[in-house]
Structure 1
């Protein structure tokens, strides 16, 4: 499987065959037009921590966006695809789910504390087949404690499975500035408005309007992490003014987009 790697003399070994609780390595990718891994899975759980840039990950019915100082946790066996559109730096860790029952059972984006980041940095410098016991065992134990306690973030967009709804979702993602009405989108999929409302609630747990707002949130986080200005994001999402976009963002994530990104790049 292709990987993103920052370590010199790095030799890829399938982490599923390494008999250690954690296999970690550094991740670095220059801005060369993007990178994409198609659907694949691992027996071990996977955590991708982002320090610079952003990535998106689609996992069996959901889309996650991961900005700096966040990570995505993907349970073992989950089919997932990863997409990077610009430069990226961070860490990748594969975790044996048998070593800690507290690990999340479903995919989620989590906030990364300074301690969790430093522990991953140390783990990434261990050899694949590091000697177990002593300091290495204590390091891995604390790393697992921090991962299990990590705070889940609202960076998830449920993705519908119904092909008619998926055609709407794909069109909205491709053209998020399109502020078409419910009637227009229902006609796009060959559905009545009532059927569209019923199906999207059943498949995503959200109303049509709430789903579209969450789409705006995850795209905004992705673009801001990639260096876009608030004015550009406002325009690309089809909002009439910056204040209206900022209000939506603040309601969803509890802070303004400017403060949100400043905190991501601090320290």
Structure 2
């Protein structure tokens, strides 16, 4: 999964724009190319109005479901990947312009904030005064958004990097922790301790978090619950729905429906 970024203004460098907030809408092509790792001086909000987007940072993988956003503080190295049908907005914010977290996090996006982002991205439709007013309203609203959690901690530890890569490439792999430990030439108990110390999660919870990220990505792209269940290696659709509901509080269809209708308010912590 990936996308080619096409800015409306080819020579645009967001860090050179003298504005406290700048919103850019990006067109997603069918080219499955992951944007190269990079960083901005400004903070960046990655917002998906449709489809699914994932942000990869050095220590984690963040999912951006429709009508939610991921906040990346200035200087954070990252790559972005999206489904082919995604409608993406990047909001670049000057350091100190708003009281925002100093760490990567997922934010709910209210209907008001959604409209402000879309309006600010229509740069040619506003004069300087209108754009300044919209930006100020956006900067007032954004810090009020609830911080949510849906990311996969990725440790720099080489063995966990390899496991994470293998699971991302084949999320249907249902190997036991003992089998993974054998592949890494270590004991099951040693792997259990390593995963917990490096990620803060048990092995089972860590793998489930990856499944949730993949599931939301694919469901957002239009895949059916049956297709996602099969792709993740579940023995039945019922087993997948049970896992999803236990983790996020609602079955997949209801969860995604509430996100779209409520502008992100259904995002479980």
Q: Which runs of 5+ in 1 are unaligned?
A: none
Q: Is the 8 A contact 1:160 1:203 kept in 2?
A: yes
2:104 maps to what in 1?
107
Contact persistence 2:22–2:135 (CA under 8 A) = no
Per the TM alignment, residue 182 of structure 1 is displaced from its structure 2 partner at its CA by 0.9
Matched positions, count:
259
1:153 positional shift: 2.7
Q: CA deviation at 1:199?
A: 1.1
2:116 aligned with 1:119: yes
Task: Output the CA distance in 1 between the equivalents of 2:261 and 2:212.
Answer: 21
Instruction: Specify the SS of the correspondent of 1:109.
Output: strand
2:62 to 57, 61, 64: 64
Instruction: Give the deviation of 1:42 after TM superposition.
Output: 0.4
5+ unaligned residues in a row in structure 2: which ranges? 263-269
- SS of residue in 2 equivalent to 1:203: helix
Q: Which residue of 1 aligns with 2:158?
A: 163
The equivalent of 1:149 in structure 2 is 144
Match status 1:238 vs 2:228: no
Matching residue within 196, 200, 207 for 2:195: 200
Runs of 4+ in 1 over 6 A off after TM superposition: none
Aligned to 1:255: 250
Taking structure 2 as the reference length, the TM-score comes to 0.90
Judging changes above 3 Å, is the alpha-carbon distance between structure 1 residues 265 and 107 closer, same or farther for their aligned structure 2 residues? Answer: same
1:122-163 C-alpha deviation (Å, 9 max, x unpaired):
211236x973xx544432222112211112233211112110
**Corresponding position of 1:81:** 79
Judge conservation of contact 2:61–2:153 (CA < 8 Å) in 1: yes
Query: Is 1:3 the equivalent of 2:15?
Result: no
- Return the alpha-carbon distance in structure 1 between the equivalents of residues 40 and 31 of structure 2: 26
